[in-house]
Amino acid sequence: MQLLKLVESEIQMDAPLPWNVRNHDCTLLLARGHVISSETQMQALLERGMYVDLEEKRAVEALASPKPAPTKSIYVHWTDAIDTLESLLHNLPDAPDFLAKIDALAQELITLAELDADIAIFMAVRQDQARHLRYGFSHSVYTALLTILMAQRMEWTTANIRLVTLAALTMNASIADLQGQMASQDYPMLDRQRVQLRAHPFDSAALLAQAGITDTQWLNAVRQHHEQANGKGYPTGTTQISELAQMLRMADVFMARISPRVIRPPMSVQDAARQMFRDDKGGAMSSAIIKVLGIYPPGNLVKLASGELGVVMRRGAEARTPLVAAVTDAQGRSVTTTLHRNTAEPAFAITGPATNDKNLLARVPPERLYGYAQRVPSGPDPSTHRRDGSTHDG
């Protein structure tokens, strides 16, 4: 036993002792819980010498010290972002400190995308198909992610990346709940729903203005995010559209096409990209989507030359050669051990996208592919654990 001499400041009058008090030869003087209630007794004990077992004192201090905040995985940070957005939009236009809170959320998404863009894309591509009612909020979060990656690819300024992220998060503020209802219904859009949809760009901007948003670029991007350069957009049919609004519409439409609905399956990433590229006539923004996602983005289910099915984990040096995790054997049977396949090798080359198998994909959570160690202690820090994940133009 190693003894440590106590000083007066370590002993509290009229309070139970947190440890046993001993004399210099380890003899017990006062048991834990004893109360020293007089100054005379205190002085007598101090003169005699009071000691405590060092290990016992350290154990008591460890119990009394505040526990560190539990760490969250990067996957939880993405799902928490959806919860945060839902809470903020539900309180509009009277949400307290809305600008500060929505700006903090936008900055968190930017940081999460920088922390690991491949995991971010995986979360967007592999959206939870059982949560249609929350589609309005998840769609805005993942559209914001895509605009971040596009804007970074196009070397936009930090200020404009922030603005387009904010616009993406708030573009559907007036219809987020309606979007969830429509994603979960098994019948076509109703006339009253169509009226709400046509009006939502201006309605959403009005809610933001009432909440104290005065940035004209942000508000105009929300008002114009369904307008088209050929005048066939809505709600006004204008052909004078800001660059922010153009990017917002491109990302919005792309994410909508690859997202599941009860009434229809999602479009494949490859078909959505081809259609977007054709509609944009090979413009810079549709090209940016293809370049940041690759031909086979993380989360995509693909067929390999080996006969295996795999889920794309990370984009590769070339757009057609990502890193894939095999989730079946060559006979199509599920495997419990996930094997990484380098698709640049001919034996494991991708032969094409596979039809999404809900049952198979349900057994492939991100933790299985990326591990449980993807932790973000108190807030994402891009200076550590960063994975660039950029692709070449091939």
* pLDDT tens-digit series, residues 243-281: 999 999 999 999 999 988 888 888 999 999 999 999 999
Would you place residue 128 in the very low, low, confident or very high pLDDT band (cuts 50, 70, 90)?
A: low
Q: How many helices (H) and strands (E) would you count in the chain?
A: 15, 11
| Residue 110: partners with Cβ closer than 8 Å, 6 or more residues away | 148, 161, 162, 165
- Residue 88 CA to residue 83 CA, distance in Å, equals 9
What is the per-residue pLDDT for 70?
A: 61
Q: What is the value of pTM for the model shown? A: 0.79
Q: What count of other Cβ atoms lies within 10 Å of the Cβ of residue 331?
A: 7
Q: Residue type for 100, please? A: A
Q: Show the tokens assigned to 12.
A: 């509290």
Q: Which residue has the higher pLDDT, 283 or 338?
A: 283
Name beta bridge partners: 310.
302, 326
- Select the more confidently predicted residue: 359 or 378: 359
**Residues 337-361 pLDDT 10s:** 888 999 999 999 999 999 877 667 7
Burial of 114 (0-12, 13-18, 19+ CB in 10 A): buried
The neighbouring-strand residues paired with 387 are 116
- Cβ–Cβ contacts within 10 Å for residue 111, how many? 16
242-251 burial code (b ≥16 CB/10 A, e <16): bbbbbbbbbb
Token pair in block for residue 248: 């917002």
CA atoms within 13 A on the CB side of 35: 4
Integer Rg of the chain from CA: 29
Rounded CA-CA distance 93/107 in Å is 21
Q: 2-17: buried (b, 16+ CB within 10 Å) or exposed (e) per residue?
A: ebeebeeeebeeeeeb
- Number of CB atoms found within 10 A of residue 52's CB: 24
3 state SS of 282: coil
Asked whether 326 and 345 are in contact (CB, 8 A), the reply is no
Lowest mean pLDDT among 128-132, 139-143, 333-337: 128-132
Q: With a cut of 70, say whether residue 390 has pLDDT above it.
A: no
